[in-house]
């Protein structure tokens, strides 16, 4: 079974951290022991999204050789375990990306799923996560620039000896010139795992420091995150899992908008 996934992209801001956090919680809700690791050590924002930005020890200190990984693991929502990264530039400068391999091996021994939020681009700290995980998930938005960058990342991943599990098309519906799943498969040469719609509740939830899958259980993006979690853990996706409270007008409207 695949246990460690690196979540990456060519371009920043496509939704890697959002996916890592929401997928992590969705896997936890399926009672899978799940850890998420913020390996985007230069532009870390997992801690901000989860309201954990004041924790004393982060991945920065671990990669600087100043702390043990045990001390950087925190309890997140729904039993999810979180290893955040620090947000200071100084902490980033002192962190050694080569130590990530060791950290990842220690974490993967403790859980069923490890999701690694990787930096975008082709920096050293971006390249290491591509080869340490069992599989790599590419996140892209349905626009040409994002596709082109994702393709570069895919090639880089293969050069580094990493395996691409597939791509997730996030924020679908944002562009009028929508790129469809099958053309993504043609361009990237990888399968599209799933499509996550553009959903204002994702940003709304981030503003509350509460992930979308918990704050808005019936929102269209939540359904997509939970569907992906079900796929990864090999169980059938049950929509009523997400709660049927708001079924009705809101759901019908969302379906019409994101069709
Ligand atoms: N499906 C979505 N619908 C609407 N907004 C989204 C969606 N996914 C991500 N976002 C927003 O896009 C921005 C970038 O997402 P983020 O996860 O931080 O990207 P990355 O980690 O790739 O840099 C955030 O403001 C986030 O709330
Ligand atoms: Mg991010």
Q: Is the CB of 189 under 6 A from ligand 1?
A: no
Measured distance CA(30)–CA(210) in Å, rounded = 19
Measured distance CA(118)–CA(136) in Å, rounded = 10
Atom of ligand 1 nearest to the CA of 49: 18
Which protein residue has the closest C-alpha to ligand 1 atom 17?
15
What token pair was written down for 151?
């393709």
Ligand 1 centroid–CA 144 distance in Å is: 17
pLDDT (tens place) for every residue of the chain, 259 residues total: 679 999 999 888 999 999 999 999 999 999 999 999 999 998 888 998 898 989 999 999 999 999 999 999 999 999 999 999 998 888 888 999 899 999 999 999 999 999 999 998 777 788 888 888 899 999 999 888 888 889 999 999 999 889 999 999 999 886 655 677 778 888 899 999 999 999 999 999 998 989 999 999 999 999 999 999 999 999 988 875 544 455 456 556 555 555 4
What token pair was written down for 59?
């991945």
Q: Is the CB of 171 under 6 A from ligand 1?
A: yes
3-state DSSP assignment of residue 96: coil
Atom of ligand 1 nearest to the CA of 11: 22
Alpha helices (H) in the chain, listed in sequence order: 16-29, 46-49, 59-63, 89-94, 100-108, 124-132, 144-159, 181-188, 200-207, 212-215, 220-233, 249-258
Which of 15, 9, 8, 6 shows the shortest CA–CA distance to 202?
A: 15
Q: Is the CB of 22 under 6 A from ligand 1?
A: no
Q: Is the CB of 97 under 6 A from ligand 1?
A: no
Q: Is the CB of 198 under 6 A from ligand 1?
A: yes
Domains of the chain: 4-246 (3.40.50.300)
Atom of ligand 1 nearest to the CA of 19: 17
Q: Is the CB of 11 under 6 A from ligand 1?
A: no
User: Helices 181-188 & 144-159, crossing angle to 10 degrees?
Assistant: 40
Give the mutation target among 202, 207, 258 for probing the ligand 1 site: most ligand atoms within 8 A of CB.
202
């Amino acid at each position: 079974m695949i246990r460690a996934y690196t979540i990456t992209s060519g371009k920043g801001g496509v939704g890697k951290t959002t996916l890592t956090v929401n997928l992590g919680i969705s896997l936890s809700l399926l009672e899978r022991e799940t850890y998420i690791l913020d390996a985007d050590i230069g532009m870390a924002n997992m801690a901000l999204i989860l309201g954990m930005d004041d924790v004393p020890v982060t991945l920065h200190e671990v990669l600087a050789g100043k702390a043990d990984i045990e001390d950087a693991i925190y309890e997140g929502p729904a039993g999810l375990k979180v290893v955040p990264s620090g947000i200071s530039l100084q902490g980033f400068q002192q962190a050694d990306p080569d130590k990530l391999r060791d950290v990842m091996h220690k974490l993967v021994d403790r859980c069923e799923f490890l999701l690694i939020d990787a930096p975008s681009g082709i920096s050293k700290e971006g390249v290491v996560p591509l080869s340490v995980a069992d599989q790599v998930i590419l996140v892209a938005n349905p626009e040409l620039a994002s596709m082109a960058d994702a393709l570069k990342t895919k090639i880089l991943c293969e050069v580094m000896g990493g395996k691409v599990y597939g791509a997730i098309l996030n924020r679908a519906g944002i562009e009028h010139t929508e790129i469809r799943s099958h053309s993504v498969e043609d361009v990237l040469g990888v399968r599209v795992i799933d499509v996550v719609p553009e959903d204002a509740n994702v940003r709304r939830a981030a503003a509350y420091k509460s992930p979308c899958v918990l704050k808005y259980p019936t929102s269209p993006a939540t359904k997509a995150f939970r569907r992906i979690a079900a796929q990864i853990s090999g169980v059938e996706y049950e929509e009523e899992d997400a709660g049927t409270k708001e079924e009705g007008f809101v759901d019908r409207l969302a379906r019409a908008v994101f069709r």
